[in-house]
Amino acid sequence: MHISLQQLRQRWGRRALHAALGLLLAALALAELQGLHLLEALDNRFGDVLLRWHAQGRVPPQDVVIIDIDQPSLKDPQMFELAGAWAWPRVIHAELITALARQQPRAILLDLILSPPDRFRPENDAALAEALAFERAYVPMVLLEDSAQQAPLALAPPAMGIRPGPGAQPDARYGIDGPTALPPEVWRTGYINFIKDDDGIGRSTELGRDVQGWWIPHLLGRVAHDLGLPQPPQPRFRLHWYGREFTRIPYAQAYLATQTGDGQLPFDARGKVIIIGATASGLHDFVPTPVATTTPGPFVLATGVANLAQGDWLRPAPAWASPALALGLIAALGLAFAARLPQAVTMAGFALVVLLALAGALAALWGQVYWIPVSALVLGGVALLAFGLLSARLEMAQRRHVQDMFARFVDPRIASALSEPAQVAQAQVSASREVTVLFSDIRGFTSLSEHRRPEEIVALLNRYFEMQVEVIFRHQGTLDKFIGDAIMAFWGAPMAQPQHAVLAVQAALAMAEALERFASDLAREDPAVRFAIGIGVHTGPAVVGFLGTQRRLDYTAIGDTVNLASRIEGCTKGVATVLVSEATRAQCGEAFEFIDRGAFEVKGREQAVRLFEPRPRRSSVESA
């Protein structure tokens, strides 16, 4: 069964419809923010922009140093003479690590894959293993998540740091590409897999992961554990990027310094965390991150180390922050539209919330908290649009409803003018207003009906009513009702009319003039027909509004003003076609000429009522 929006509005009420829409939007918002994550990509993109801007002012700590296998190091003539073309013999790395270890750095992280073994020069692997005897030297491994070749985790060398947890499965297996060029006793390792989001961008890293109850450490987690660095409560954490560069020492400069003169390094390595990795374009160790589409892998590792060392990784905002913002916006917008606040106020309030939320996101970054409210704001924007459309539909439905109701009583142009919410509300409320009431009655109608067939009388009355109602509507009047052969109309409602008395008198004179033409036409058809009317007009307070039941409803005026207008009409017999009260005459000012017809005794009045016959002013008639 089809139910119109107007019927729903009448059945539930405006606030109930807004509440129902608000609950639906709230459910969708919670589903999106807690499960669907359809807008997560939008949050990520905006978050990347915010992180790039915020990172510009962040300086990495001086105690995290990158020894950089950069392009100049690969092309350095001396390096080429000593080590040849890339890949260099692992003894080169062994000599550099040995020199670094003498200065007692805090840790050395070798960000180079050390598999498979060097079968042609095994002595180079042996030299590297000897250098890695430094107890805080770490080498990487790679997790092979989709590999068919998996090894039992229970057989992992103790140096790898893979350990069982409560409920660990004894037969757990996993694909691991370890540093097989080295003996197991120096496998102080952790995986260095690139941790990426669904869009392929790396925004986070890990301390490690649980596999069938076994803990497999990330290289960062291994270093943080051994060095006693602060650690996030969750294994995966969001990186807090730096816009300034880390301290970078070209590999060639560092290594060649160990081979000449006193063999001293070109920097002080004491107490520092040193990462040896490649940034040369030809070695393809680049990953997409929020700060750059081609971020060198060692920079990602260095960022993680620095974040842990300083304890300033990005903490996630409370899980309720975005849902609370979205639900608060939906509730506030629903209330605003239900209360019919001006659209400009609602839009300005929404814009202010957007600005405050974005400013809050930026302020949160300074407090090491990552909160991107874009999806919540987008959901708020959807709510703004949805509530706006609902309100517009309700307004249109209400206006059409009011216009349809009043089209029976007033000129269609007046009904169409009832468009503003304030006008609609005023029109529908029964209240006391100052109005001008007009009564018109046919003289001698009873005798006329005695000499004609009923169908002829009905046809005649319909012609008469159509003519007179057209005059009333043309003068912006409201048709109240037909009472037998009488017509009741009023001015001043449903829309306020400052000149309601003038309009009513103009309509009365026009009705009298139209009647003369109508009577002439009837006389030509049947000379025996005599047709005349009397019109009474009075101005005063009356209660105007809808009266009746749901099945039968009339828009009418009631009160003493209506009764007196009817009595004035009865006084027109033998006096004038149109008579108006003194109150109406006073309201009309100088718009007409009035002839004083004296005081009349009327039923229900102790004092006589002074009545006047209006006539158009001669100047206005002549000019017309």
Phi, psi of 596 (to 5 degrees): -75, 115
pLDDT of res. 430: 64
Contact of 538 with 561, CB cutoff 8 Å: yes
Contact of 611 with 597, CB cutoff 8 Å: yes
Extract the tokens encoding 173.
């297996």
Residue 621 has pLDDT above 50, yes or no: no
Residue 115 has pLDDT above 80, yes or no: yes
Q: Which is more confidently placed, 460 or 449?
A: 460
CA angle 328, 329, 331 (to 5 degrees): 65
| 18-62 tens-digit pLDDT | 667 667 777 776 776 666 677 888 899 999 999 999 999 899 999
pLDDT of res. 17: 67
Q: Which is more confidently placed, 583 or 442?
A: 583
Residue 9 has pLDDT above 60, yes or no: no
Residue 220 has pLDDT above 80, yes or no: yes
pLDDT of res. 237: 97
The DSSP bridge pattern shows strands 173-174 and 609-616 to be: unpaired
Residue 63 has pLDDT above 80, yes or no: yes
Coil/strand/helix, residue 146: coil
Q: DSSP of 62-98, one letter per residue?
A: TTEEEEEE-HHHHH-HHHHHHH-SSSPPHHHHHHHHH
| Closest of 60, 72, 90 to residue 273, by C-alpha | 60
pTM given for the model: 0.69
pLDDT of res. 607: 87
Provide mean pLDDT across the span 93-101: 95
pLDDT of res. 10: 47
pLDDT of res. 520: 82
| 246-296 tens-digit pLDDT | 999 999 999 999 988 777 888 999 999 999 999 998 888 899 999 999 999
Provide mean pLDDT across the span 117-128: 92
| Mean pLDDT of all residues belonging to the chain | 86
Confidence of residue 130 (pLDDT cuts 50, 70, 90): very high
Residue 170 has pLDDT above 60, yes or no: yes
CA within 13 Å, CB half, 497? 23
Q: Which is more confidently placed, 8 or 246?
A: 246
Tokens 């609370």 appear where?
324
| 486-540 tens-digit pLDDT | 999 999 988 888 999 999 999 999 999 998 888 887 777 766 666 788 999 999 9
Contact of 516 with 548, CB cutoff 8 Å: no
Residue 66 has pLDDT above 50, yes or no: yes
Percent of the chain with pLDDT over 70: 86
Residue 464 has pLDDT above 90, yes or no: no
pLDDT of res. 149: 79
pLDDT of res. 331: 86
- Helix H or strand E encompassing 473: helix 454-474
Residue 418 has pLDDT above 80, yes or no: no
Tokens 């001043």 appear where?
492
pLDDT of res. 319: 87
**Sign of the torsion angle spanned by Cα atoms 331, 335, 340, 346:** negative
Which residues lie closer than 8 Å to 236 by C-beta, 6 or more apart? 195, 204, 205, 206, 207
pLDDT of res. 2: 43
pLDDT of res. 13: 59
**Terminal alpha carbon distance of the chain:** 58
pLDDT of res. 624: 40
Helix, strand counts (H, E) of the chain: 21, 26
| Closest of 198, 298, 205 to residue 245, by C-alpha | 298
pLDDT of res. 442: 85
Rounded to whole angstroms, how far apart are CA atoms 96 and 112? 14
Contact of 125 with 90, CB cutoff 8 Å: yes
